A and B are shown apart, each in its own frame.
Chain A
Amino acid sequence: MSDGDDAARMPRWVKIVGVAAILLVVLLIAALFSGHGPGRHMGGHGVSAPVAAVDGAAGWLR
Chain B
Amino acid sequence: MAPPLRKAVLTAHVAASVGWLGAVAASIALALAALTSPDLRVVRAAYLAMDMLGWSVLVPISVASLLTGLVQSLGTVWGLVRHYWVLFKLFINVVATAVLLLYTQTLGLLADRAADPASTLAQLRGPSPLVHAGAGLLLLVGATVLSVYKPRGVTGFGLRRAAAAA
What is A's interface to B at a CB cutoff of 8 Å? 7-8, 10-11, 13-14, 17, 21, 24-25, 28, 37-45, 47, 49, 53-54, 57, 60
Contacts and interface: CB of A to CB of B under 8 A. Distances in A.
B36 to A, nearest CB: 13
Contacts of A45: 122-123, 125
B35 to A, nearest CB: 9
B99 A28 contact: yes
Contacts of B127: 43
B126 A44 contact: yes
B57 interface: no
Describe B's contact surface by its main secondary structure.
helix
Given A7-B154, A8-B159, A43-B127, A57 B106 contact: yes
Contacts of B154: 7
B102 A11 contact: no
B84 to A, nearest CB: 5
B105 A24 contact: no
Given A7-B159, A14-B84, A42 B126 contact: yes
Residue from the set A10, A40, A42, A43 with the largest chain B CB neighbour count within 10 Å: A43
A20 to B, nearest CB: 9
